[in-house]
Structure 1
């Protein structure tokens, strides 16, 4: 499962340093080449909405085997494509790798209680948090030494290896429940009508949204306010991931004992407190990059305490529809991230100051904390596992 999650992350970011060379090779503009990112994100969001319900109906094993096999073939097609349209079509099909996160989350819930699943998710998140940092670096090395096609050939190889592992090691975890089409639709309506599900899902989305706000606004602030080089900006951007690794490690150890609500509330409170302390220091005249990145490390740690637990909570509202819940939540995270990125850019264009960035992140964190409180209250009325 760790390899599947790694493929999800690496498929998104490993090839990014090669985009200029790819645009030159295909003879297209950089804006057109950017479709390999933006169109992929749209396809990923849509496919999550489809893959989750299918895994609830047909089982986890079938979906993951088909998705990984097609992903490997699409990666190979992208590696040998000489026409941009063919490449883009293969790139969109690559979004099937999202089955790894959607079906993986559902499979964990099939096998474990809510608390145990949260702990397992924390372990996976802590192990894989390094992928966003090393993926682009390794992709840049491959592009420099061999060429960008080597990156997609590596994707194909990883897909083939994962297919073999899943074929021999991924047993069916879904307990089959025979339902008529009318009963299945009634179950979906019950999930969509659950306030607890939406509280968990929206808390996850807004918490992840603070990442997007930071990643979008921090480079402008670091350069305009502190004059940092791109190297140090990269180090600063990685700091929030370090905090996330710590928070996820804590989740892995404590979720089975404390439960998800305690850790979600702690995570959202810690993130908000760190941002408020940072904003307060800037207000009294303490202006230093360490203040900004120290505050955002708290956000990373808070998200590490939050996201695995909210994911475990939302797929436990209706365990028989864990795939549907995971898919819908994943799509909300992608589309919500796009919206928050779009809001952050004009906000920072009006003034790239640390206080403006922190203020926007504080607003998001307040909303996330409110949703966490609603989720905790709703969970308290549910049977405990």
Structure 2
């Protein structure tokens, strides 16, 4: 295959799809994760099961997302970004359709696994960015993508809560079905193939995982992303219980209060997109997780002072959202830039570790909460996770002091 070259004689990068295309593809996973959260109590009542069992809809989705990314990334490196993304979205559409008619919680949990194929949007969009722009621009572009994507989790719980109250919880899966069809059409029409150097086999891609695992930079970025997102996933696991059982708010109210979290996430994304090239990755990641840690402590203080109000739960979590918005795009850009030729595999492996850790923290937060515990275990998990993210970033900064900064263009390997 002949590689086209630019005016300077360097290999030309492929055409980048419209940023809205990447936003829509990426947001499919966020929609499937968030839209049904206000309906968890309703699903438990309708399917005659315990809340703890229904909460597995969150955990299974996160674990499935983690595992699937291990395969989606290498598959896109071998088979191409476009066909793999379209296949993932098609499975997402089919499972959403079947979920509308489900009659048992066991079947619904199985379909939640297949809905997790929406993770292809996250993995492949990051790889497409790395295919089409250099490392210095990747954090900014990913920041804009996630800022636009944040609109979906901002409005999804609110829509989900309203749909639940007026039409029942199954209507939320109709929403994911319609969104998935739109995503397939948009990707089909706009996403050209950006992987100009496909690998020889998928097995070869799995054999490069040790190369990534042996990179200290990869671990610093991946652990930063995992613990940063872990604070938010802990809220997804325990927040609905605190809101319904301790604060007594219904599905639609939960959805509207959740907007505070999404606004925070969007604000953090904007700061990343606007300032990442000026102040650097490490500063953004540290600042973001300091904000998230502060949010957890503020939540503890508000409830300890007797302010038992939804704002005491959602406003501090909004600070966690700001922290996620500042730290995650930057960490993602670092993950796919450690070995640029392995961008898909790096995105998949890094995302798998992040989502797997998030699933564990989601389960932990839910398990620690009880009618007598108050919201404090939830905030404790969020504080601990954000603090560990700071430690991971500091570890990466130490590597840079010892080994020097990694090559922005990916021209050489980094430790």
Q: In the superposition, relative to structure 1, how do residues 343 and 91 fare at CA in structure 2: closer, same or farther (>3 Å)?
A: closer
Question: 1:13 aligned to 6, 30, 34, which one?
Answer: 34
Q: 2:344 aligned with 1:323, yes or no?
A: yes
Q: Residue 11 of structure 1 aligns to a residue in which SS?
A: helix
Question: 2:180 aligned to 159, 168, 188, which one?
Answer: 159
Contact 1:115 1:257 (C-alpha < 8 Å) held by counterparts: no
Q: Deviations along 1:165-211, whole A, 9 cap, x unmatched?
A: 21121011112145478864553221111111111111111111222
Contact 2:49 2:105 (C-alpha < 8 Å) held by counterparts: no
Give the match for residue 119 of structure 1. 140
Q: In the superposition, relative to structure 1, how do residues 111 and 183 fare at CA in structure 2: closer, same or farther (>3 Å)?
A: same
CA shift for structure 1 position 264? 1.5
Q: Residue 4 of structure 1 aligns to a residue in which SS?
A: helix
Quick one: distance in 1 between partners of 2:386 and 2:394? 12
Quick one: distance in 2 between partners of 1:158 and 1:233? 22
Q: Deviations along 1:109-156, whole A, 9 cap, x unmatched?
A: 111122322112212222232423421332333344445444333333
Give the match for residue 94 of structure 1. 115
Q: In the superposition, relative to structure 1, how do residues 384 and 355 fare at CA in structure 2: closer, same or farther (>3 Å)?
A: same
Quick one: distance in 2 between partners of 1:77 and 1:341? 26
Quick one: distance in 2 between partners of 1:38 and 1:346? 12
Q: 2:283 aligned with 1:262, yes or no?
A: yes
**TM-score of the pair, normalised by structure 2:** 0.77
Contact 2:336 2:344 (C-alpha < 8 Å) held by counterparts: yes
Quick one: distance in 1 between partners of 2:131 and 2:67? 23
**TM-score of the pair, normalised by structure 1:** 0.82
Give the match for residue 368 of structure 1. 389
Q: Deviations along 1:327-384, whole A, 9 cap, x unmatched?
A: 2222222221232234435655597467766555443333211110122343543123
Quick one: distance in 2 between partners of 1:213 and 1:85? 23
Contact 2:140 2:272 (C-alpha < 8 Å) held by counterparts: yes
Question: 2:219 aligned to 198, 203, 215, which one?
Answer: 198
Structure 2 gap ranges (5+): 1-21, 410-415
Q: Residue 315 of structure 1 aligns to a residue in which SS?
A: helix
Q: 2:235 aligned with 1:211, yes or no?
A: no
Alignment of 1:170-185 (within 5 A): 170-179=191-200, 184=205
Deviates more, 1:63-72 or 1:140-149: 140-149
Q: In the superposition, relative to structure 1, how do residues 345 and 164 fare at CA in structure 2: closer, same or farther (>3 Å)?
A: closer
Contact 2:99 2:108 (C-alpha < 8 Å) held by counterparts: yes
Q: Residue 208 of structure 2 aligns to a residue in which SS?
A: helix
Question: 2:92 aligned to 34, 55, 71, which one?
Answer: 71
Deviates more, 1:132-141 or 1:198-207: 132-141
Structure 1 gap ranges (5+): none
CA shift for structure 1 position 95? 1.7
Q: Deviations along 1:269-328, whole A, 9 cap, x unmatched?
A: 44445656777x779x96657787665444332222111100110111112222222222
Whichever structure has more helix as a proportion of its residues is 1
Give the match for residue 247 of structure 1. 268
Quick one: distance in 1 between partners of 2:71 and 2:26? 18
Output the aligned Cα RMSD. Answer: 3.6
The number of aligned residues is: 380
Contact 1:218 1:237 (C-alpha < 8 Å) held by counterparts: no
Contact 2:29 2:121 (C-alpha < 8 Å) held by counterparts: yes
Contact 2:81 2:124 (C-alpha < 8 Å) held by counterparts: yes
Give the match for residue 383 of structure 1. 407
Q: In the superposition, relative to structure 1, how do residues 70 and 202 fare at CA in structure 2: closer, same or farther (>3 Å)?
A: same
Alignment of 1:274-289 (within 5 A): 288=307
Give the match for residue 72 of structure 2. 51
